[in-house]
Structure 1
Amino acid sequence: MTVFAFSRIRRILALSALLPLALTACGTSTQASPAEPPPAPDSAVQAVFATTDSDFPNPERGFYHASATGLEALDAAEMTQAYADGYRLIYVRINLDDYRDTDLPPAFLERLEAGFAVARSSGVKLIVRTTYNYPQGETEYHDAKDAPLARVKSQLAQLRPLFYRNADVIAFMQAGFIGAWGEWHTSSNNLTTPENRTQIKDALLDAVPPTRFIQFRYPPYIHDWYPNPPGVTAALKDNFRIGFHNDCFLASQTDVGTYSEDPATRAQEQQFTDALGDAGPFGGETCNPADDPGAIPRTACADILAEGARYNLTYLNDGYYRRLFHDNWTKGGCMTEVRSHMGYRFGLVSVAHAKTATHGGALAISIVVRNSGWARLYNARPVEIILRDPASGEVRRLEANGADPRRWLPGADTTETLKISLPADLPAGTREVWLALPDADSRIQADPRFAIRLANADNAAKGQTWDADLGAFALGTTLDIR
């Protein structure tokens, strides 16, 4: 979220602070071949679905709105308007400018708690960064101060219960704390030394709930800790929680100091972040190319479409430095594609299940789902089957086993068999079958604003439709309960 950046600082970072990488194993994500429709069991009901190119918002992805205030003063009217404008991600800072030398007072922590409550009531999730300064000019930049290592660690310990209580509305954490704007450079307390930054990384991993990722600013730092990013299976098994945010995406050959000025080293760093995007989330913002002498910004549709897909872009600032980037994407005719393909984009291809089932028994539903987005889903989320009585409208929500939407990889079709236990008290009769992807957290699981909308077209003739009140998609099939 750097509003003012300075070329000499960026060049110093590229030349000295960011060390060359010695990559030993990297690569791009492997895309599965399109899956065949699931085999139909005897006496099965089957359905196929059409996808839609329509642009619609979804949780934890897309263009984000940057809050005009810190989390401690998050404004409900602003958040309500942001939701109405289609934003589901809000970038917000925790401003610790007044607490570099003291503990965080209880009143301040209560204001932060209230800020999280505002996000929850508004239907949005947050990208959170904690900072000790936010310079608005060169003088402020040179005077920017952070806090000593001991203070950073003690305040993270204070923030830990707050983060755990509000994990439901935290989409991603940006590491913050260090240097100007919390961007992990120009520390006034030597926090960017390898030992100090590693201690802060470890303190962040302890303070942030284990269900949430932490994004760091510079690839060489991440490479020092994790030289070989895991694949998706290993990342899920080991609960890998590290991502990358690039605050000058596409702005110059080096992304204004994000990558090395040496072409060979830069290629290695980019290969590393390419691999990292399979395991952890990537997002950020564009910035002013003039901050890097001789910059050649990558402003065409071909650039954002290629690099968005390559690096698994999940989110991007919608408000900063639009002139060269966002405006050009609109003129070039690709803005709708950019908006709709950031992050995951799930659409059903086909479904099959038995015509009848017994209450108290089991039901298997085979689905093929396509992720046409640029990234996978990074935060856990259940799959629900909803059985709806077409006469009374009564619904029963049943969590399905056997599927993890975080494994639905970009550019691939995935075949799953959902396994559902039918309640013993489920009355006999015909039920419509719906599919839902609600939030995993019980505090907002029933709130349809936090459910994922599938990228399927409504088809009234087939009974296939999205219902915003249910946060679910009607499969157009029925199940007879006996």
Structure 2
Amino acid sequence: MTMGSLRPLALLLAFSAQASAGPSPQRADTPLPASAAVVDTTFRATDEEIANPERGMYVWAADNLAAWTQAQADAQFAAGYRLVYAPVRLDEYAGGPLPARVLAGLSENFATARRAGLKVIPRFLYNYPAGETGYQAAQDAPLGRVLGHIAQLEPALAANADVIAFLQAGFVGAWGEWHTSSNNLTEPASRTRIRDALLGALPPGRFLQVRYPPYLMAWAPKAPRWRDGSAASRIGVHNDCFLASVTDVGTYSEDAAARRRERGYVAALSTVAPFGGETCNPADAVDPTPRTDCGDILREGRRFGLTYLNDSYYRGLFHTRWEAQGCMAEVRRRMGYRFELVSLRHSAAIVAGRSGGLALAVRNSGWARAFNPRGVQVLLKHRATGDVVRITLASIDPRTWLPGRTSKMAASLAVPPGTPAGTYDVLLALPDGAPSLAGDVRYSVRPANAADAARSQGWDEKLGAFRAGTTLDILAP
């Protein structure tokens, strides 16, 4: 065995029994004797900015998703973006059903994202007023029409959930932000029916986001728990005036006591469902006091688990100041999850068709958890032939790796029957959870670890996996 030191397997099992700062670890299921050797290694974190799926700064697909081109999408990926905001304009259909060509075009738009390696944050809307104050005359659609459109859109949402990062609720009021509805859609009964229709149209593993915390608190007075089965646990907040005023321009209550409760609720909710949005021009706020310093974004980004932010708006008051004060690089690093491999320990040799043990420690130094399903795989690359064997560690779920904590876990490393004997390099991969994207390395998470040539550690772009610098011997039965 090369790169890493050998230890008895008993230490591997002891590792799995340690108390963990993250989720409860699981014992390795291994038929090997406790005296069998293991190999272990550690990893070094990096401050490098890494573009990873479903997190970070975003840009617009286009003013209307229907106008988005493949060239634009490819250029956005090349520029380092992995999320695009996707407004879908339905203005001309507020009085009738969506034509088949619109639904077909939407599916092609999602295919554009898939070809580019991007994920989208769609919002369906019936208007887009110009300026921060020109929203009073905005028109949306009657409740029956909205529900009909959602029903029409359900097949496209289900078929393309793989490239939908999160769905903003949309449909209601100016900019689809759920205020100033011309059809009274913000009344409790109407908004609840729209919420239920949207959750029904989305596959169970995908999240909805709503602009206003009081609506969420009316539906669930106590913040939900992670994946507790409730509708509330699938709904996060998109704050489209993050940091812009005391109330974030109407996101929170004018009453100080109510505002504290609302902010506390959103902070708790952000551990369960995604929080993101954009900064904005506080022109519509009374006596605005925007929070523009690095201390503000670093403190509130962490408190609210900021997963994504518009990179294009409102830059002059916020982004430019963060750049001048020197914290923009940290903001970009911390948004969403940021997984750092800490240590790896695994059996040194396994007979083909049998199982060995593996223990892994990962630190999430980001501000949020990963919200959508994602796999964990060990890749074995044969040193002589270059052939790759993928082993999925089904018992490990990266969504449980909480921000600011190190998670320690153990798993069975089951080598498929018929695997050729030989020495294999070990790599770790975090592929997308959707079968349609699991083989696309652009959707694999790159851990925030430094390359180390002396220890044979580093990112393998072709495999979408990180070389651990350890080897595993596969033995013939």
TM-score, L = length of structure 1: 0.90
2:56 aligned partner, one-letter code: G
Q: 1:465 to 1:239 in 2, by over 3 A?
A: farther
Once residues 238 and 153 of structure 1 are traced to their aligned partners in structure 2, the CA distance between those partners, rounded to angstroms, is: 18
Say yes or no: does 1:409 pair with 2:409.
no
Match of 1:55 in 2: 49
Of 173-182 and 207-216, deviating more is: 207-216
Corresponding residue SS for 2:371: coil
Q: 1:126 to 1:387 in 2, by over 3 A?
A: same
2:302 aligned partner, one-letter code: A
1:104 to 73, 98, 102: 98
Match of 1:350 in 2: 343
User: Taking every aligned residue pair, what percent have the same amino acid on both sides?
Assistant: 52
Q: 1:183 to 1:49 in 2, by over 3 A?
A: same
1:172 to 166, 169, 183: 166
Matches within 5 A, 1:359-378: 359-378=352-371
Say yes or no: does 1:427 pair with 2:417.
no
C-alpha root-mean-square deviation of aligned residues, in Å? 2.0
1:343 deviates by 0.2
User: Do the aligned partners of 1:32 and 1:411 also contact (CA within 8 Å) in 2?
Assistant: no
Of 462-471 and 274-283, deviating more is: 462-471
Q: 1:201 to 1:239 in 2, by over 3 A?
A: closer
1:196 deviates by 0.4
Corresponding residue SS for 1:453: coil
1:385 deviates by 0.8
Once residues 133 and 319 of structure 2 are traced to their aligned partners in structure 1, the CA distance between those partners, rounded to angstroms, is: 30
1:70 to 58, 64, 77: 64
Once residues 115 and 282 of structure 1 are traced to their aligned partners in structure 2, the CA distance between those partners, rounded to angstroms, is: 24
Q: How big is each residue's C-alpha offset from its partner over 1:331-357, in whole Å with a ceiling of 9 and x where there is no partner?
A: 111111000100000011101011100
Of 129-138 and 380-389, deviating more is: 129-138
Corresponding residue SS for 1:441: coil
Corresponding residue SS for 1:196: helix
User: Do the aligned partners of 1:146 and 1:177 also contact (CA within 8 Å) in 2?
Assistant: yes
Match of 2:256 in 1: 263
Match of 1:384 in 2: 377
Of 328-337 and 131-140, deviating more is: 131-140
User: Do the aligned partners of 2:209 and 2:236 also contact (CA within 8 Å) in 1?
Assistant: yes
1:481 to 468, 474, 477: 474
Once residues 282 and 105 of structure 2 are traced to their aligned partners in structure 1, the CA distance between those partners, rounded to angstroms, is: 37
Once residues 111 and 75 of structure 1 are traced to their aligned partners in structure 2, the CA distance between those partners, rounded to angstroms, is: 12
User: Do the aligned partners of 2:91 and 2:126 also contact (CA within 8 Å) in 1?
Assistant: yes
1:141 deviates by 2.8
User: Do the aligned partners of 2:298 and 2:331 also contact (CA within 8 Å) in 1?
Assistant: yes
Corresponding residue SS for 2:135: helix
1:472 aligned partner, one-letter code: A
Number of equivalent positions = 450
Once residues 34 and 401 of structure 1 are traced to their aligned partners in structure 2, the CA distance between those partners, rounded to angstroms, is: 15
Say yes or no: does 1:88 pair with 2:82.
yes
Q: How big is each residue's C-alpha offset from its partner over 1:270-303, in whole Å with a ceiling of 9 and x where there is no partner?
A: 0000100010000000001232121111111010
2:278 aligned partner, one-letter code: E
Q: 1:274 to 1:459 in 2, by over 3 A?
A: same
Match of 2:298 in 1: 305
Of 311-320 and 358-367, deviating more is: 358-367
1:457 to 439, 446, 450: 450
Once residues 350 and 457 of structure 1 are traced to their aligned partners in structure 2, the CA distance between those partners, rounded to angstroms, is: 13
1:71 deviates by 2.2
1:262 deviates by 1.1
Q: How big is each residue's C-alpha offset from its partner over 1:166-201, in whole Å with a ceiling of 9 and x where there is no partner?
A: 001000000000001000001111100000000000
Once residues 187 and 89 of structure 1 are traced to their aligned partners in structure 2, the CA distance between those partners, rounded to angstroms, is: 28
User: Do the aligned partners of 1:387 and 1:397 also contact (CA within 8 Å) in 2?
Assistant: yes
1:228 to 219, 222, 227: 222
Q: 1:41 to 1:325 in 2, by over 3 A?
A: farther
2:417 aligned partner, one-letter code: A
Match of 1:203 in 2: 197
Q: 1:387 to 1:63 in 2, by over 3 A?
A: same
Q: How big is each residue's C-alpha offset from its partner over 1:26-55, in whole Å with a ceiling of 9 and x where there is no partner?
A: xxxxx948999x999851100001000100
Match of 2:235 in 1: 242
Q: 1:382 to 1:238 in 2, by over 3 A?
A: farther
Q: 1:176 to 1:238 in 2, by over 3 A?
A: closer
TM-score, L = length of structure 2: 0.91
Q: 1:288 to 1:432 in 2, by over 3 A?
A: same
Corresponding residue SS for 2:233: coil
Once residues 22 and 420 of structure 2 are traced to their aligned partners in structure 1, the CA distance between those partners, rounded to angstroms, is: 41
User: Do the aligned partners of 1:41 and 1:353 also contact (CA within 8 Å) in 2?
Assistant: no
User: Do the aligned partners of 1:64 and 1:317 also contact (CA within 8 Å) in 2?
Assistant: yes
User: Do the aligned partners of 1:73 and 1:111 also contact (CA within 8 Å) in 2?
Assistant: no
Once residues 129 and 49 of structure 1 are traced to their aligned partners in structure 2, the CA distance between those partners, rounded to angstroms, is: 40
User: Do the aligned partners of 1:402 and 1:416 also contact (CA within 8 Å) in 2?
Assistant: no
2:172 aligned partner, one-letter code: I
Match of 2:269 in 1: 276
Unaligned runs of 5+ in 2: 1-19, 29-33
Once residues 125 and 107 of structure 2 are traced to their aligned partners in structure 1, the CA distance between those partners, rounded to angstroms, is: 17
Say yes or no: does 1:181 pair with 2:161.
no
1:51 aligned partner, one-letter code: A
1:459 aligned partner, one-letter code: D
User: Do the aligned partners of 1:100 and 1:146 also contact (CA within 8 Å) in 2?
Assistant: yes
Say yes or no: does 1:150 pair with 2:117.
no
